[in-house]
Structure 1
Amino acid sequence: MKRLPQIALLPDGKRLHLQDGPIDLVIGAQGSEGEVRAAYEAAARRFNGLLDELCEELIELRKAADPACSALSGVVARRMHAAVAPFAAGHFITPMAAVAGSVAEEILGAMLAAAPLDRAYVNNGGDIALHLADGEQFTVGLLDRPDRHGLMRTIDIDADDPARGIATSGRHGRSFSLGIADAVTVLARTASQADAAATIIANAVDLPGHPAIVRCPANELQPDSDLGARLVTRDVGTLGESEIDDALRAGVTRAQQLLAAGLIEGAALRLLGETAVVGATGFKAGALPAFHKGALERTVHV
C-alpha cells in the first residue's frame, strides 16, 4: 500500500498540519476565507510526494557539498545545496543541513502562488519560512533549549525587516551538532539560509578537547548519518563562566562573519543559561543583550 501523508486542520480550525515521515509542518495563514482555503489546498498538493522526491536523491544529499556545483536535480534539493554552498569551501557541510528550511520554503512558495495572503508561515520543526504583507508582523518565541518548552524571550519581525527565515540548531535539536550550544537561533532572508547558517554557528560554539564534553561518532548513534564518523556532542558537564564565555565568543565570531557577509540578519546564541546576540534585525530594544566590545553581557539564568 502506498504511503499517504497526514493532512488535517489542527483542533483550532485555523492551522494546517502536514506530516510525512520526518517532515512535520504546522502552517498558518491570514487572508480571506477563500484565499486561506486555496493556500492550504496548494500546500497539501505540493506536500504530497515531496518526501519521495528528496529520498530519490538522498545519497547525494548526504555527501559533502561542492561549493561550485551540484549534481542534484530536484527543486528542493537544489535549494538545499544553494543554502549550504557558501559554507562548503571552509567547512564540512552537506545539503541536509538545510533540509527543514528548504522544505518550509517550498510549501510557502506553493501557498503564495495560489493566493495573495496577508501573512503566512510554514513551521517545520522550528525552522520557519515566513511571508508578511505591508504592515504585518510576526513574533517568534526563543527557547532556552529546543527540547524544552520554557519561553525565554520573543523576537518581533516586521514587514519592513529583511528576514523571512528563522531556524534553530544546537545539540538538543533533531539533528546532531559538532558544537556545544544549547541553541542558536538565526534570522536570515530565507528559511533555507537560516537553517544552514544556524548549523554553522552552532558548530562553532565549542571548547575543543574539553574533558567535560562527551562526544561520540555520529554513525554509532545513527548508521546512515551524513556526518559519518565525525564526533558529535552527547553531553556537556560543568563549565566555568570563563569557559562558557570562550565557547560563546567563538560562536559570536562566526556569526559576526556571516552577518558581515550578508548571509544572516541576526543570531541569538545560548549556552548553559547564557545568551549572546549578533545583529539588530528582529531583536528589539530591551529584548536581549547584544554582543559588543568587552565581556559578554549576561541574561538571567533560566
Structure 2
Amino acid sequence: MPGPVAAYLDGHQNGRLHLQHGPIELLIGVDGAHSLELEAYQRALAFALAHRRFKTVLDELVAELPLLRSQARPDGVEPQGAVARRMWRAVLPFASEHFITPMAAVAGAVADEILTAMLLGFTAENRPNRIYVNNGGDIALHLEQNASFRVKIAREDGADLGDFTVTAEDRCRGVATSGRGGRSLSMGIADSVTTLSDSAASADAAATIIANAVDLPGHPAVCRAPADTVVDDSDLGARLVTTGVGALTDQDIAFALDKGEAMAKNLRLRTLIERSALFLGRHGRLVTPPHPSAPHIPIPEEKLYA
C-alpha cells in the first residue's frame, strides 16, 4: 500500500490540505485570522502538525484491528492507540444495549485526533479562529469567537435536503452522517442520518445507532444479506445488513422514521447528541433542542415531506 500522501487541494499553500492513506481521506481547512499574514502562519503550522500526526494513524489502527472489529462491551478491553481509544470510548455508551464495534466511530475519531494534534501546536490565545477536518463527511470542528461552519445535507443522488450552521456558541464540535448511502454498511433503511455531538467520534457512533433504528424488520421490500458476504471481513460478521429498499408506502416510511426519531430523542435526552436529521425517501424528521432560542436545522418543509 502506498504511504501517506499530502497535497494542497486548491493548488496553493493557502488552500485546503488533502491527506490520504489507504481508505482514510481528509480535507482540512484553517481560516478566520484577523490578518492574511497571521492566517498564513497559522495555516502552515496547523497543516504541518496534521501531516506529521497523520503519517502513523493507519498503521496504529491496523495494529489493533481485530480488537476494533470486535463487539464493544462495557467490561471489554480498552485499546492502546490514541485513535483506537477515541473509537472505543465513543461507542461505549451504546454497548450495553446495542451491537456496536469501535469501527462505528473510526472516521470521526480520526478527524478528532488530527484536529487535536493541530491545536496542540498553538497557545490558547493564538489558536486559529476556525479549523475543520472532514473525513468523508464526518467532521471535527474548532470554532472560536464568531466563527461558524455550514453543513449542507444532500441525498445520495445529489438532491438538496437543506443545511444547518454550527456556531462557536454551540456545544457541538462534531458532525457525522450514517445510513445506506454512506461508505459503511447499515442494518437500517435510512437514506441518511446526520447527527451533531460534542465530538466527531461521538456523532459518528450515534449516527450509526440512529440509522440502524430506522427500519422495517421483515418487510418484503427490504433486501438484506449477511454483512460478510457484502464486504469481506466486515466488523458486522454474519449480521444482516440492508442491500436494497423497494417501494414503500408513506405509512411504512412514517413507521420507520418514528423508530429512528424515538432513538434520536432518547440519545438527546441522554446528552449523547445535540441534534439529528433523519431522511428516508422524500420524508424526514428533525430532532433538535426544545427551547425556542436553540439552533435549528433550516430545512425547507417541501424537502422533508412528500
Q: TM-score, normalised by structure 2?
A: 0.91
Rounded Cα–Cα distance in structure 2 between residues aligned with 1:97 and 1:288: 30
AA partner of residue 10 (structure 1) = L
Unmatched segments (≥5 aa) in structure 1:
290-296
Match of 1:287 in 2: 299
Rounded Cα–Cα distance in structure 2 between residues aligned with 1:258 and 1:202: 13
Match of 2:18 in 1: 17
1:138 is displaced (CA, Å) by 0.7
1:111 is displaced (CA, Å) by 1.0
Cα 1:288–1:192 change in 2 (3 A) is farther
Rounded Cα–Cα distance in structure 2 between residues aligned with 1:150 and 1:238: 19
Match of 1:8 in 2: 7
Contact 2:78 / 2:88 at 8 angstroms: preserved in 1?
A: no
Rounded Cα–Cα distance in structure 2 between residues aligned with 1:12 and 1:155: 28
Classify the secondary structure of the residue corresponding to 1:283.
coil
Match of 1:78 in 2: 85
Aligned pairs, number: 290
Unmatched segments (≥5 aa) in structure 2:
34-38
4+ runs of 1 displaced by more than 6 Å?
none
**Structure 1, residues 38-65: CA drift from partner, whole Å, max 9, x if none?**
0000000000011000000000000000
1:119 aligns with 2:124: no
Match of 1:293 in 2: none
1:275 is displaced (CA, Å) by 0.9
1:112 is displaced (CA, Å) by 1.0
Cα 1:244–1:159 change in 2 (3 A) is same
1:140 aligns with 2:139: no
Match of 2:278 in 1: 269
Contact 1:266 / 1:282 at 8 angstroms: preserved in 2?
A: no
Match of 2:219 in 1: 210
Rounded Cα–Cα distance in structure 2 between residues aligned with 1:8 and 1:149: 26
Cα 1:164–1:206 change in 2 (3 A) is same
Rounded Cα–Cα distance in structure 1 between residues aligned with 2:107 and 2:97: 22
Q: How does 1:88-107 map to 2 (within 5 A)?
A: 88-107=95-114
Find 1:37's aligned residue among 31, 34, 44.
44
Rounded Cα–Cα distance in structure 2 between residues aligned with 1:54 and 1:265: 28
Q: How does 1:40-55 map to 2 (within 5 A)?
A: 40-55=47-62
Which shows bigger deviation, 64-73 or 187-196? 64-73
Classify the secondary structure of the residue corresponding to 1:246.
helix
Rounded Cα–Cα distance in structure 1 between residues aligned with 2:42 and 2:108: 24
Classify the secondary structure of the residue corresponding to 2:120.
helix
Find 1:109's aligned residue among 96, 109, 116.
116
Aligned-pair identity in percent equals: 50
Rounded Cα–Cα distance in structure 1 between residues aligned with 2:219 and 2:167: 41
Contact 2:173 / 2:197 at 8 angstroms: preserved in 1?
A: yes
Contact 1:70 / 1:81 at 8 angstroms: preserved in 2?
A: no
Classify the secondary structure of the residue corresponding to 1:40.
helix
**Structure 1, residues 158-213: CA drift from partner, whole Å, max 9, x if none?**
11011100000001110000000000000001000000000000000000000000
Q: TM-score, normalised by structure 1?
A: 0.93
Classify the secondary structure of the residue corresponding to 1:81.
helix
Contact 1:276 / 1:298 at 8 angstroms: preserved in 2?
A: no
RMSD, aligned CA = 1.5
Match of 2:164 in 1: 155
AA partner of residue 144 (structure 1) = R
Contact 2:71 / 2:101 at 8 angstroms: preserved in 1?
A: yes
1:221 is displaced (CA, Å) by 1.3
Find 1:299's aligned residue among 294, 297, 304.
304
**Structure 1, residues 200-245: CA drift from partner, whole Å, max 9, x if none?**
0000000000000000000011220000000000100000001100
AA partner of residue 139 (structure 2) = I
**Structure 1, residues 119-177: CA drift from partner, whole Å, max 9, x if none?**
010000000000100111110001123xx333321101111011100000001110000
1:233 aligns with 2:242: yes
Which shows bigger deviation, 5-14 or 96-105? 5-14
